[in-house]
Amino acid sequence: MQLNRLIDHTNLKADATKADIKKLVDEAVEHDFFSVCVNSSFVKFIKEYNDQVTIATVVGFPLGAMSTRAKAYETKCAIEDGASEIDMVIEIGRLKEGDYDYVLEDIKAVKEACGDNILKVIIETCLLNEEEIVKACELSVEAGAEFVKTSTGFSTGGAKASNIALMRKTVGPDLGVKASGGIHTKEEALEMVENGATRIGASKSIDICK
């Protein structure tokens, strides 16, 4: 296993500059990370700077409480600008109150806007109990997503190995599981992989691979 090839090298900070994003891209090339993950305003900029880099971007980030139409349009624009992977945040409140049809249609709309591109569904595990985590994963599978993902990294907690194991058990062997949020070391990353993660989202990617 090449750990570097599981990493989405990430900068989603509100104060990220073009210089920061260029640095992110250069690091991703140097260390052969799988992709860079950025806010959508930088997608076109990266495509023009280095069109060989796989670009992931976030949609409905970080709260997930935007309208479905807004999420779908943001996705459409990001794909047109050059993104090939979309990491969307679910409508967490709707999930918690049991409005599963809303959550399902929300994910479906973004997947439709994605087309053949990869959709990762961020379920924000730190705000959910185990039953809710299972339901979020089941809805993601039903909607046609390619990945479920633990966290935005901007809420009350990040990835936990126990949640990765639960997500993997729920989605089965074939769907992707992305661990993201608070992963700083190689040991932490490997623990996620051992529990079923097939992708790691990290800003400390170089430290992890060292």
Rounded to 5, what percent of the chain is helix, strand, coil?
50, 15, 35
Beta bridge partners of 113: none
* Total count of residues recorded for the chain: 210
- The active-site residue out of 71, 135, 149, 160 is 149
Separation CA 88–CA 112 (nearest Å): 13
Separation CA 96–CA 24 (nearest Å): 35
| Whether residue 87 lies in the annotated active site | yes
- The active-site residue out of 8, 81, 87, 106 is 87
**DSSP assigned state of 82:** T
Amino acid making up residue 199: R
Separation CA 78–CA 135 (nearest Å): 28
- Backbone φ and ψ for 164, nearest 5 degrees, come out as -60, -45
Separation CA 39–CA 57 (nearest Å): 6
As a whole number of angstroms, the longest Cα–Cα distance in the chain is: 45
- The active-site residue out of 111, 120, 160, 178 is 178
What residues are labeled active site? Answer: 87, 149, 178
